[in-house]
Chains A and B, each alone.
Chain A
């Protein structure tokens, strides 16, 4: 390459490195053992849209196999084999992501535009999401693109019956992908009912021998890189509009709290603190749009995983005429009524606090 070309490439790398508009989406691909994650990923990586994708595969066990099944560029492919991502090697994950970014910045790997983390089948996705939210060295440059969970149509219902971790993988998903329908035939109503009970908000897609439209699977976070906009209604999904229809499946419950009256900023802060303080481990995921009394025209968007919360994001305007606050909870045995009362009680107590603008 000539000198001018080299400088141009170096300059482009610097822009990509420093410009927050170029945060790289990270998608978490999870699902129980044998649910078809690797097959789907192998198909996706063959699609033009996924040409610039860095892949991190976490295998549980001494001998990794999944990476042999994936055809990907060596320099943007990393296998973590030291244990289960969720509980043992969060530091390794953060380090791996840092290394990937460094290699990208230095031009030592494909300038990937997306990262996919395939978890082990036994992984709890929540701590992985927390790592993405809290590690200062990566969080500024990476953003959560969404959680995709594969469910095996043959064994999925039984797995969900037996395995708590499988329930959690489904509960936190932004997209659910049914696999192995060629073996199972049409999805069984019992499985679909179970998925709806665990996570009615996530669209259920189908992969045919791993084949699926990439655009439907990823980009399921609050920010859509395709449209370069936020789609809060799609992100909040059905739960936020289901009003009183709480859903539960065993220990896991999904429900929405809806309030028409604006909420003071201090009340929201105290509410989230109290939720974390008393039930932090059981808040699998929380997301919402909130009418803050001090900011009536610019709603706040909140997102939390267990006790880790993003600072509120402020939208430029309300996405629709509905200005009610809607907070979606996916919890493990956190009573809806308790959350409602807690918010009401805190709101009541801070009502005499002067409202600032």
Chain B
């Protein structure tokens, strides 16, 4: 099970350049656990025997699985038995957030009309 404080046991700069050091599932597991912290949602993330990531303690039954090779998407997210595909971890986060946080309304980036510096 991954808890939000696992990273404190690792080297301080673990976050740097570490994309190549962990498998996608490890990264996804810890990202999901930290996402719960960021969203201020109680719960935990664990890996099931079949490799799926399971979010527990939230009142929802959520499973996240890697898509099979050559699929057009990378992940599937199952919330209370309803399965949806996700093309990226960002999309996974959005689906999980929508499931766990009823008041959630995505905020879209707005781009400033003026340049940051003169060019």
Instruction: Contacts A134-B113, A307-B107 given; indicate if A351 touches B19 (C-beta within 8 A).
Output: yes
Given the complex of chains A and B, what is the CA–CA distance between A344 and B21 in angstroms?
A: 10
Q: Report B107 CB to chain A, min CB distance, Å.
A: 3
With beta carbons under 8 angstroms apart, the residue of A134, A261, A338, A348 that contacts B27 is: A348
With beta carbons under 8 angstroms apart, the residue of B13, B24, B88, B116 that contacts A310 is: B116
Report yes or no: B4 in contact with A309, Cβ–Cβ below 8 A: no
Report yes or no: B40 in contact with A139, Cβ–Cβ below 8 A: no
Q: Does A84 contact B (CB under 8 A)?
A: no
Which size class do A's interface residues fall under? 35 or more
Q: Report B40 CB to chain A, min CB distance, Å.
A: 7
Instruction: Contacts A244-B13, A349-B74, A349-B89 given; indicate if A139 touches B39 (C-beta within 8 A).
Output: no
Which one of B24, B38, B106, B117 has the greatest number of beta carbons of chain A within 10 Å?
A: B117
Which one of A133, A135, A279 has the greatest number of beta carbons of chain B within 10 Å?
A: A133
Report yes or no: B109 in contact with A258, Cβ–Cβ below 8 A: no
Q: Does A301 contact B (CB under 8 A)?
A: yes
Contact with A along B78-119 (1 / 0, CB 8 A): 000000000011100110010000000011111111111111
Q: Does A346 contact B (CB under 8 A)?
A: yes
Report yes or no: A140 in contact with B107, Cβ–Cβ below 8 A: no
Given the complex of chains A and B, what is the CA–CA distance between A278 and B20 in angstroms?
A: 25
With beta carbons under 8 angstroms apart, the residue of B13, B20, B109 that contacts A309 is: B109
Report yes or no: B13 in contact with A335, Cβ–Cβ below 8 A: no
A-B contacts, 23 listed (Cβ < 8 Å): A135-B113, A258-B13, A272-B109, A273-B90, A274-B90, A276-B108, A276-B109, A278-B93, A301-B117, A302-B116, A307-B109, A312-B116, A313-B115, A333-B38, A335-B34, A337-B4, A338-B34, A338-B35, A341-B30, A344-B15, A344-B18, A346-B88, A346-B90
Closest 5 CB pairs of A and B: A340-B15, A280-B107, A139-B114, A133-B112, A338-B34
Given contacts A260-B17, A336-B15, A341-B31, 14 further A-B contacts (CB under 8 A): A133-B113, A140-B113, A143-B114, A222-B116, A222-B117, A257-B15, A274-B93, A276-B107, A310-B115, A335-B38, A340-B16, A341-B34, A344-B27, A346-B89
A residues near B (Cβ < 8 Å) are: 20-21, 23, 133-136, 139-140, 142-143, 222-223, 230, 243-244, 257-261, 270, 272-274, 276-281, 301-303, 307-313, 333-338, 340-342, 344-349, 351
